[in-house]
Amino acid sequence: DVKVTQSSRYLVKRTGEKVFLECVQDMDHENMFWYRQDPGLGLRLIYFSYDVKMKEKGDIPEGYSVSREKKERFSLILESASTNQTSMYLCASSPGTGGTDTQYFGPGTRLTVL
Amino acid sequence: AQSVTQLGSHVSVSEGALVLLRCNYSSSVPPYLFWYVQYPNQGLQLLLKYTTGATLVKGINGFEAEFKKSETSFHLTKPSAHMSDAAEYFCAVSEGYSTLTFGKGTMLLVSP
């Protein structure tokens, strides 16, 4: 079974703090993704990575950055957290064979910024 | 650009009734289509996907979906709802690359 784990299920931070969300997958997948999920808006892609040290902006990259130093690990960084970044963050991975790939999701991190 | 529209943010059915969740897509190329399910406090998991070939796709837990190119639709159905089907369902489209565009989701409520 593919397993995608996220470092925290719940996180509370203060405005202006630097926040790190970590994601690890154990299936040697090439692709990894960070989404933001908000009620009524569905999932929106923040960033994705198709290889180590490679990254591509998604639909809503503003205010976020990412790091992929190892194949199995993909980090989402909020340089200076703001209240409008309060959300559920979902990490996913996929094999990297193309558009028919299944994406495998972690359980999510619910981030609250006060 | 690709897009997905899910009709109805909430759908309510009685246990044993037909489940029908609607999804329409827009794509400039033949699409790959997916349905994912999210149970409370969990991540998403794949229900089924259409890539090529047979247009009626069967998935897990008795769900199926039919790709209708002429209607640009990929509606999800299940003949008889079960209480355990209560969840949020997301339709998604890919144009051949590794990224997906998701719809806004439909919450399925099942009453006894």
The DSSP result for chain B, as a single string, is: --EEEEE-SEEEEETTSPEEEEEEEE-SS--EEEEEEE-TTS-EEEEEEE-SS-SEEE-GGG-EEEEEGGGTEEEEEESS--GGG-EEEEEEEESSSS--EE---EEEEEE-
Question: Any CB–CB contact under 8 A between B45 and chain A?
Answer: yes
Nearest to B99 among A48, A90, A100 (CB): A48
The pLDDT of residue B44 is above 80: yes
Distance CA A70, CA B72 (A): 40
Distance CA B14, CA B81 (A): 7
Tracing tokens 């892609």 back to the chain, one arrives at A45
Question: pLDDT per position in chain A (114 positions), as tens?
Answer: 769 999 999 999 999 999 999 999 999 999 999 999 999 899 999 999 999 999 999 999 999 999 999 999 999 999 999 999 999 999 999 998 888 899 999 999 999 999
CA angle B40, B42, B47 (to 5 degrees): 95
Nearest chain A CA: its distance from B45 CA (Å):
7
Distance CA A46, CA A61 (A): 5
* Confidence (pLDDT) at B28: 80
Two tokens, residue A57 = 């902006």
Question: Any CB–CB contact under 8 A between B96 and chain A?
Answer: yes
* Confidence (pLDDT) at B41: 87
Two tokens, residue B74 = 């990929």
Nearest to B105 among A42, A90, A99 (CB): A42
Where does the pLDDT of residue B110 fall: very low under 50, low under 70, confident under 90, or very high at 90 and above?
Answer: very high
The pLDDT of residue B63 is above 80: yes
